[in-house]
Structure 1
Amino acid sequence: MPPPAGADASAASTSGPDASESPSESLDAVRSQSHAPPETSESLWLRRSVILSFWAVVALLGLPVWWKTTAIYRADLPLPYMTDWADGKICKPVFPLRIAVEAPLALQDAQHLIHTTQHALDDLNEFSAHHLRLMLSDLPAPANASQQVVRDEGPTSDEDTALSIRLIPVETGPTPRSHLQPYSPTLDVYYAANQIPPPSSTGSPLATFIAHELHKIFAEEQALLAYLLSTTSGAHTAKMQSLSPETTAELERQSTRAFKYAPTYHLTFSLFTPSSMPSAWDIESALQQYLSPLLESFAAISNFTVDSQVQLYAGFSPSVREPEYDEALKAWTLRKEDLSGFINAAEWPLSPSIGIGPTVNFVLYVPSESQSPLLVKESGANSWLVPQWGGVLILNPVSMAGQNGSIPTILTKDALSPAMHTFSDQLISLLGLPQTPASLPLRLSTLKRVRAASLLFSASSTLGALARLTRALPSIPIPDTVAKSVDLTTAHLQQACDHLRDGRFQGALEHARIAEAEAEKAFFERSMVGQVYFPDEHKVAVYLPLLGPVAVPLVMAAIKELKSGLSAIRRR
């Protein structure tokens, strides 16, 4: 039933909006009722204080702690000084060799002969860094060609004297003539009494002869040092000796064949045989007789450790072709390309390296009777040298068979004599000993000077590499141990250079050896090497997931408050 009309009108008047209000006015009224009350100044400053406190903790506590815990410590290194060493600006090595002359002459005649010979030597010398100083054996001060007074160096010892010349007057035989002692640094010069130059002369055949003999004795040493200086970056001398292409090629071949210098070498002697005989060898007695004197002569340059082993039933590698019989040579032969089977560590286990020094391997192979004699097809030799590895010798049983024609069970000291002589020659080549002159002490002293110079250049180059690495990678740490090693390196390098300049080559070698070891220790510091492989990109990848969630709310809150403050300033 429909409601009455009056009721509808009254309901509309009580529940609906005032007919006199517009729709926009009613919407504004609703909005005014929904707004929050205005923020008080106390709450505003409280909120800003909270935000500032967070930023204060980050700036005053978080950042310093982060900076302190993640900072890379870099000790101070004398980088310009290190670079100058590498460029050869600090030390220009020279090699003054003192030559003592024993002359049975009057003092005035002996001094005149020395001065005349010195002039002739200077005319022959093309390498100013290497020069010979003649001096009377009973006088402390060396005499030079210009007769200038050199600084007093004190009495010279026998160790500082490179060579002694003994003038011996004779009445028979051709004169002048000379003889170099094979096991003593002594040159005997035989002359006639009428060959002594008078005081008024400026030259004589005897002085010219001595000068040419000395130049010939030290020719290879000058070539070695000139080659070393020419191949070393940063090594500059006032006057460099020009080397022929043939000499340069020969010196390069010798340098690639020899081992790098080391204070200690480990020698391993191995006996390999394809059968059960010989099953033993008298290696201890053979080494004591044939090799120990040579090793003792090298004691001033390097030390040696020795071991030996016997490997029975040592057959060739499957990749190596079996020996072939050559009718022309009447022997079994191996091709040159198959010689690598003798250094195959998988088939013939050699002793591992012991200690920090390089291992020099010497292999003695005794073939079976059915394949003896065994030679190299291309050369017909039974021994060969492996550069920077060692030497191999094939000891054919035909040359050592007993009366019954069989291989002996034990290789005696006499049977090992040819092998020991061959191994001695191979060791000399592998250690870089010069081939001339005929005197072994002179060759050893030459090697001492060459090794001292090479170590000095190597340590200086390592310092330069370390300086470049430090500049190129500012993110790597430099511990105090590196700085200490650098200081020790530069100190010993300076002492080595001073000893070279004074002609004390044994001391120069010892200081250069320490400098090289300290330079290598500084360059290969473990903490530095590990940090090289951890660049800054890795650090960002580690820190960003941790700092991002914390930094975004702080930054957004700071931006909001900054905008609020700017708006308030504009309204004013």
Structure 2
Amino acid sequence: MGWTRRWIIIAFWVVVACLGLPYWIWTTSIHRSHLPLGMMNSWAEGKACQMSYPLHIRLSAPDLGEQAGSLLAEGVMRRMNELTDLQLYTFKLSYNDSLPTSTERDWDLLVLLSEEQNTNPEASLRSWAPVLDVRYDPNSDTNTLATFISQEVRTVFEYEHESLTYLLNDTPYATGKDTTSSLEGKTRLDARTTRAFKYASMYHLTFSLFTSSASPSSWDVDEALNKYITPLLQPLSKISKFTINTQVQLHASFSPSIAGPMHDATSGKWLLQKTDLSGFVNAAEWPLSPSIGAGPTINFVLYVPSVEQSPLEIAETGGTSWLVPQWGGVQILNPSDMQSATLSAGDLEQVMLTFADHLTALVGLPPSPQSLALRLSSLTRERATSLILSASSTLGALARLTLKLTSISIPDSVAKSVDETIARLDQACLDLREGRFDSALSNARIANDEAERAFFEPSMVGQVYFPDEHKVAVYVPLLGPMAVPLVMAALKELRKLRAAKLKSA
């Protein structure tokens, strides 16, 4: 009876091992087979998408007529195709001798020609519209005018092309030719990238009034925001959403980490050293939240010193405002002798204009060209490109992790996120090639979110930091005491069987 019990125990553990091993193999392989590793690697290696940006230029010349306008358009198009330093772009040019309607917008840049006697060709961009106004003499040569227009169009998109090339450099999507004009240009692009926030679909703007005394105790911030900030946020909302919060704190003291302003007897001013600017914000006492909700917070601080410590300026430059990279902006408002308890919207005009400039820099809006509409279009293409690069890189990292850690199990949610990422990336790439840049940004944003969700899946992160050696160290102490009696019993039974066979022989 004892012999039978021992063999039953041995058989039980053999069955458990035989069933458990295939189950472990199934759980770690069947889910892995759901991952399209080939497509993930293709995106990471830059083989799944060719970055190209078609730009539609519309030429309108009501005074030229159909035949002369068509000849001018052909000349401009021929010269645009000869441009070798804008290789990422594919220009499409159309001509219409009538002005476009207010609802018509199937072009990226409108070149609007108007006659002006006895003048050389001149061009100017409109501030709020993607329109290039060109004035020309009706007796000017068509070839000369075509060359002038093509050069002006090149100038409009030159900075954006440098930015896109800068983004693609050192990535699998690089074109192989660095068209950044100079070392100075690269330094400028580096500085712009460094001070701007990483792209987010939501930003939280916090406008804070800090005063070193009890006055001013209020400000007409709502009116000032509606007048100077909201008109900028409305076009920017096509790229990201914004929320706004305001606050006031009285008797706000300087940060203890700075030496404090020093009085200059010669000028009668209080001066802040440039080295004090980085520690000016008193993070310990000023209620500035680093993050609200899902998106990053951009802080705008208006500081009003006391009458006894004003005017307060920066020693080296004489300025009163500065930008803190990836954080926000600070503006000092020196009070007047007849200071009131409330800052009116008129008092805040220059402050809000400064904050508007800081905001454009912090969200990454290009400084060129002059037209805000064209700068927003450039930012849309840049953000779509950067999100495609980010999602592709995350997919590649996930693929390499999956191939390296063969024992890690892949949840179905990760496989679904990867499928969604690849589908969105395919659509974003198609949108770029067909000039649907807003749609490309939307799809690239979803692709990047899904890729990060898959890579940082909580159930997988724990397995990444729990290798096989740790599993052995955990389970051997548990299985060891159970295995030793079974092994000893099996050896004892084998000896009995051997002794019985010898005895019978």
For the aligned pair, the TM-score class normalised by the smaller chain equals over 0.9
Partner-residue secondary structure (3-state), 2:248: strand
Cα distance in 1 between the residues matched to 2:362 and 2:267: 30
Partner-residue secondary structure (3-state), 2:208: strand
Q: Is the 8 A contact 1:126 1:239 kept in 2?
A: no
- Equivalent residue for 2:19, pick from 64, 78, 85: 64
In the alignment, does 2:10 pair up with 1:55?
yes
Q: Is the 8 A contact 1:485 1:521 kept in 2?
A: yes
Worse-superposed segment, 96-105 or 308-317? 96-105
Deviation at residue 238 of structure 1 after TM alignment = 6.5
Q: Is the 8 A contact 1:436 1:443 kept in 2?
A: yes
Partner-residue secondary structure (3-state), 2:330: strand
Cα 1:328/1:570, change in 2 over 3 Å: farther
Cα 1:129/1:238, change in 2 over 3 Å: farther
In the alignment, does 2:473 pair up with 1:535?
no
- Equivalent residue for 2:113, pick from 146, 167, 181: 167
| Aligned counterparts, 1:285-364, within 5 A | 285-364=223-302
Cα distance in 2 between the residues matched to 1:507 and 1:328: 59
Q: Is the 8 A contact 1:271 1:365 kept in 2?
A: yes
Q: Is the 8 A contact 1:120 1:208 kept in 2?
A: yes
Cα distance in 1 between the residues matched to 2:424 and 2:69: 39
Worse-superposed segment, 354-363 or 182-191? 182-191
Cα distance in 1 between the residues matched to 2:267 and 2:373: 40
- Equivalent residue for 1:119, pick from 57, 61, 78: 78
What is the letter of the counterpart of residue 207 of structure 1? A
Deviation at residue 253 of structure 1 after TM alignment = 0.7
| Aligned counterparts, 1:301-450, within 5 A | 301-398=239-336, 405-450=337-382
Cα distance in 2 between the residues matched to 1:569 and 1:544: 36
Corresponding residue of 1:188: 133
Deviation at residue 567 of structure 1 after TM alignment = 6.7
Corresponding residue of 1:77: 35
Cα 1:48/1:456, change in 2 over 3 Å: same
User: What's the CA shift string for 1:95-126, capped at 9, x where partnerless?
Assistant: 11100111334444333322221221222331
In the alignment, does 2:128 pair up with 1:128?
no
Deviation at residue 530 of structure 1 after TM alignment = 1.9
Partner-residue secondary structure (3-state), 1:364: strand
Runs of 5+ unmatched residues, structure 1: 1-45, 140-156, 198-203, 399-404
Deviation at residue 570 of structure 1 after TM alignment = 7.5
Partner-residue secondary structure (3-state), 1:305: strand
Deviation at residue 65 of structure 1 after TM alignment = 5.1
Cα 1:159/1:486, change in 2 over 3 Å: farther
In the alignment, does 2:147 pair up with 1:208?
yes
User: What's the CA shift string for 1:458-490, capped at 9, x where partnerless?
Assistant: 111111111111122233331111111111111
Cα 1:134/1:77, change in 2 over 3 Å: same
Cα distance in 1 between the residues matched to 2:287 and 2:59: 54
Cα distance in 2 between the residues matched to 1:173 and 1:72: 81
Cα distance in 2 between the residues matched to 1:338 and 1:182: 36
Corresponding residue of 1:267: 205
Deviation at residue 322 of structure 1 after TM alignment = 2.6
Partner-residue secondary structure (3-state), 1:236: coil
Q: Is the 8 A contact 1:72 1:475 kept in 2?
A: no
Cα distance in 2 between the residues matched to 1:210 and 1:229: 28
User: What's the CA shift string for 1:49-87, capped at 9, x where partnerless?
Assistant: 444322221122465258748975544211121111011
Worse-superposed segment, 371-380 or 329-338? 329-338
Partner-residue secondary structure (3-state), 1:167: strand
User: What's the CA shift string for 1:168-188, capped at 9, x where partnerless?
Assistant: 233x24132222211111112
Cα 1:175/1:563, change in 2 over 3 Å: same
Partner-residue secondary structure (3-state), 1:350: coil
Q: Is the 8 A contact 2:60 2:95 kept in 1?
A: yes
Q: Is the 8 A contact 1:100 1:137 kept in 2?
A: yes
Q: Is the 8 A contact 2:77 2:93 kept in 1?
A: yes
Corresponding residue of 1:276: 214
Cα distance in 2 between the residues matched to 1:287 and 1:418: 12
Q: Is the 8 A contact 2:215 2:340 kept in 1?
A: yes
Partner-residue secondary structure (3-state), 1:475: coil
User: What's the CA shift string for 1:392-446, capped at 9, x where partnerless?
Assistant: 0000003xxxxxx332101111111110010001111111111111111011111
| Aligned counterparts, 1:203-242, within 5 A | 204-231=143-170, 233-237=171-175, 240-242=178-180
Q: Give TM-score, length-normalised by structure 2.
A: 0.92
Cα distance in 1 between the residues matched to 2:154 and 2:24: 65
Cα distance in 2 between the residues matched to 1:334 and 1:63: 76
Cα distance in 2 between the residues matched to 1:447 and 1:328: 46
Cα distance in 2 between the residues matched to 1:182 and 1:384: 25
Partner-residue secondary structure (3-state), 1:100: strand
Corresponding residue of 1:479: 411
Deviation at residue 218 of structure 1 after TM alignment = 0.9
Cα distance in 1 between the residues matched to 2:180 and 2:474: 59
Partner-residue secondary structure (3-state), 1:321: coil
Deviation at residue 509 of structure 1 after TM alignment = 0.7
In the alignment, does 2:438 pair up with 1:506?
yes
User: What's the CA shift string for 1:225-264, capped at 9, x where partnerless?
Assistant: 1111114x21133655243111111101110011111111
Partner-residue secondary structure (3-state), 2:319: coil
- Equivalent residue for 2:58, pick from 88, 95, 100: 100
User: What's the CA shift string for 1:14-67, capped at 9, x where partnerless?
Assistant: xxxxxxxxxxxxxxxxxxxxxxxxxxxxxxxx6664443222211224652587
Q: Give TM-score, length-normalised by structure 1.
A: 0.82
Q: Is the 8 A contact 2:165 2:174 kept in 1?
A: no
The CA RMSD over aligned residues, in Å, is 2.3
Cα distance in 2 between the residues matched to 1:409 and 1:459: 51
Cα distance in 2 between the residues matched to 1:320 and 1:70: 61
What is the letter of the counterpart of residue 308 of structure 2? S
Worse-superposed segment, 547-556 or 500-509? 547-556
Deviation at residue 160 of structure 1 after TM alignment = 4.2
Q: Is the 8 A contact 2:254 2:282 kept in 1?
A: no
- Equivalent residue for 1:91, pick from 36, 46, 49: 49
Partner-residue secondary structure (3-state), 1:193: coil
Worse-superposed segment, 177-186 or 64-73? 64-73
Q: Is the 8 A contact 1:361 1:390 kept in 2?
A: yes
Cα distance in 2 between the residues matched to 1:239 and 1:113: 31
Q: Is the 8 A contact 2:306 2:335 kept in 1?
A: yes
The alignment-based identity, stated in percent, is 50
Cα distance in 1 between the residues matched to 2:15 and 2:97: 78
Cα 1:558/1:106, change in 2 over 3 Å: same
Corresponding residue of 2:485: 553
What is the letter of the counterpart of residue 75 of structure 2? T
Corresponding residue of 1:153: none
Cα distance in 1 between the residues matched to 2:298 and 2:226: 18
Cα distance in 1 between the residues matched to 2:81 and 2:184: 25
Partner-residue secondary structure (3-state), 1:415: coil
